[in-house]
Every structure is written in structure tokens, then in C-alpha cells.
Amino acid sequence: MNFTLRQLSCFVALIETRHFGRAAEKVHITQPALSMQIRALETALGQQLVERGPRAVVPTRAGRALAVRAAHILAEAQELAADARHRAPHAALQLGVIPTVAPYLLPPLLPRLAAQAHARDLRLREARTATLLGELADGQLDAAVIASAPTEGGFVAKPLFEDRFLLAGSAARLAHLGQARDALRPRGLDPDELLLLDEGHCLADQALEVCGLMRSSARLDLGAASLATLCGLVAGGAGLTFLPEIALAAETAAAPGLTCLRFSAPEPSRTLYLLRRAASAADDWFDPLAAALAATGDVLLATTRARIA
């Protein structure tokens, strides 16, 4: 059974006017076209809906019953369309962000969005990359901020900014490394000194990649679920780790013993992206949101680079 709102609209107009010509005028189509719509509706429902007399159209019993229900259906459809038009500009935007970005980028982002004309109601979701990509693909999220370009299709990815990695640890552990600043490279680090986030965090995978290591090569990952926990550990002398530039201000404030060094060029880094589904309508929100994220990141990066040249 396949019928359309257009067919129902034509049928209701016919019942109201009891005349094919006047009904056609009411729905702004030709009389033959309206007659075809009615016959298609009768075929779809398997019932005769009107008796076609020489002077007037008379609904059958099935036609009378359908006319009442069709009027309700059309009214609901019009209300739905009006509600969508009314609410669309204020609809909540579901945004996912990975855990090694969310605590640093979101607090300064929200005031920036609130001060701009395109501010909207945000619903935030913090989760790892694989989870965010799955929820974005399923329509549970409208957009996601991740630290790697997606390898699978179906997404539009907009680069936001490059976030370089710093080497973080206690002042005592970094003292001898600082003397060789021009030769400080990830692949020269002792794997026994590296502490990483637990498996599934993209930051840990990126750190291993730039060091040319497998996870089994690292001495200890401790199962640390957050970068804040990891920074507290290395600030206390437990080892070394990689710290994204955008996290420097927050993590050094939380762990006063944390010290950071820059790697020699080319510095390891990650690129942050804002993703949406390719099939979704970007309307007026995607580019402004990407611009706000990029601008917020630039401020954090400038602050860090002023502290650690």
C-alpha cells in the first residue's frame, strides 16, 4: 500500500468541492492530473472512493471514512512542517569531542559561541574516536571533533588547527634532555620512560607512532584513562609523556611540578578536524562552528607558544 500526502490532499479537495474541476483549481493542478491522483489513491487502497456522477461527485462509504482520516493526517503533516520550520534554528546540536581535546577546548569555546550570532544550543558528548565515529554515522551526533582524518567514506572533514606535542615530565627528569634541545626527537626517547594513556586513546597511538614503537615496547601505561591523571603521574617523577599544546595551561595549573620541553624540528603534532556526515545538511552551522573551534584553538596555541618557544 503506497499513497502520498499529495493524493490525500487532492482527495480531500474533491470531497470538499464535489467537483473535479473546482478541486483541481483548489490544489493548483489540471483536472486530468487530479483525476489521475484520485485513481492512483483508489488503486493503492484497493477501494472505490467516489461515485462519478454527471453533475456531482459522491463519496462512497469508504470515501467518507477516508475523508475524515485524511483531513486529520494532512493537518498533522502541516503542523509537523510548521513546527520543524519554527524549531530548526533553535534545535540542539549534538557535538562529540575526544577526551584529550574536550577539557581544554570546550571551556573557552562556549563563551565564544554565546557571543556570536550563530550561537545555538549545544549538547556535548565526550568519548573516544571510534565511539564518536560510530555515533556520528548512526545519526546520534551531528558533528565530532577528532584528531585524525577519517579513513572511511561518508564524512566531511574540516581541518581546524595543528596541535604540536610537547615532552612532559618532572623538572629533574627533563633536566638532562633540555641540554640537548637541538637533538630532542621522539625516536630518541627511552621507551622505558614513556607513560601512555590506556588502549583506545588516539593520543597514545599517535605518541607510539611518532616514536616508532609498539605499545608493548612502552614500560608502563598504567591504564590511565585521562590526560590529567597521566600529567599528575609524570609531574611526580613517574616518567615522561606527550602533552598536546592546547593542554599546557590547564595541566601545568593542575600539576605545578609538570615541566615541558619542545622537540626539535620537525615537531610531532596532530591535526584536529571537525566532522559531519556527508549526507547531512550543513546549513548555517558547520562552517561557523569550525571557525569558532579553530579560533579558540589558535588562542590556546598562542598562549602555549609564548610560554615555551
Q: How far apart are CA 196 and CA 219, in angstroms?
A: 9
pLDDT for position 290: 95
With a cut of 80, say whether residue 254 has pLDDT above it.
Answer: yes
Number of domains composing the chain: 2
> Cis omega (within 30 of 0) on the bond before 266?
yes
Q: 115 versus 30: which is more confidently predicted?
A: 30
Q: 178 versus 175: which is more confidently predicted?
A: 175
Highest mean pLDDT (candidates 198-207, 209-218, 264-273): 264-273
pLDDT in tens, 185-195: 888 888 888 88
Answer for the pair 245, 166: CB distance below 8 angstroms, yes or no. yes
Q: Which of 178, 181, 298, 185 is nearest to 242 (CA)?
A: 185
Lowest mean pLDDT segment, chosen from 257-261, 266-270, 282-286: 282-286
Per-position b or e across 195-225, b if 16+ CB within 10 A of its CB: bbbeeebbbbbbbbebbebeeeebeebeebe
CA 296 to chain centre: 17
Question: H-type helices in the chain, by residue range?
Answer: 5-17, 20-26, 31-45, 61-87, 102-114, 129-137, 171-178, 202-211, 227-235, 248-254, 286-307
Q: What are phi and psi of 273, to 5 degrees?
A: -130, 150
Specify whether 140 is located in the same domain as 271.
yes
Domain encompassing residue 129? 92-309
pLDDT in tens, 216-252: 555 455 556 788 988 999 899 888 999 999 999 999 9
Specify whether 77 is located in the same domain as 136.
no
Specify whether 161 is located in the same domain as 305.
yes
CA 214 to chain centre: 30
* 265-281 mean pLDDT: 90
* 59-63 mean pLDDT: 92
C-alpha separations of 166 from 89, 169, 222, 263, 302 in Å: 41, 10, 20, 7, 14
Answer for the pair 231, 241: CB distance below 8 angstroms, yes or no. yes
Lowest mean pLDDT segment, chosen from 36-45, 49-58, 86-95: 86-95
| Grid-cell match 599528575, residue found | 232
Q: Which three cell numbers stand for residue 299?
A: 588562542
* 286-301 mean pLDDT: 94
Chain length of the chain: 309
Which of the listed residues 68, 88, 108 is the one where a domain comes to its end? 88
Q: Which of 112, 100, 109, 128 is nearest to 248 (CA)?
A: 100
**What band does 165 get if pLDDT is binned at 50, 70 and 90?**
very high
pLDDT for position 157: 93
Q: 282 versus 10: which is more confidently predicted?
A: 10
With a cut of 80, say whether residue 181 has pLDDT above it.
Answer: no
Lowest mean pLDDT segment, chosen from 18-27, 28-37, 211-220, 259-268: 211-220
Which of the listed residues 39, 57, 88 is the one where a domain comes to its end? 88
Specify whether 199 is located in the same domain as 220.
yes
Answer for the pair 28, 61: CB distance below 8 angstroms, yes or no. no
> Cis omega (within 30 of 0) on the bond before 159?
no
pLDDT in tens, 65-111: 999 999 999 888 887 776 665 555 556 789 999 999 999 999 999 88
Lowest mean pLDDT segment, chosen from 86-100, 162-176, 272-286: 86-100
* Cα-only R_g, the chain: 31
Which of the listed residues 54, 88, 122 is the one where a domain comes to its end? 88
Specify whether 239 is located in the same domain as 153.
yes
pLDDT for position 197: 80
Q: Which of 190, 178, 202 is nearest to 262 (CA)?
A: 178
Specify whether 54 is located in the same domain as 119.
no
pLDDT for position 162: 95
Q: How far apart are CA 172 and CA 248, in angstroms?
A: 18
pLDDT for position 217: 53
Average per-residue pLDDT for the chain: 85
Specify whether 134 is located in the same domain as 269.
yes
pLDDT for position 250: 94
**Residue 116, exposed/middle/buried by CB under 10 A (0-12, 13-18, 19+)?**
middle
pLDDT for position 153: 75
Specify whether 172 is located in the same domain as 293.
yes
Specify whether 45 is located in the same domain as 181.
no
With a cut of 80, say whether residue 201 has pLDDT above it.
Answer: no
pLDDT for position 209: 78
With a cut of 90, say whether residue 150 has pLDDT above it.
Answer: no
pLDDT in tens, 120-130: 578 899 999 98
Amino acid at 51: E
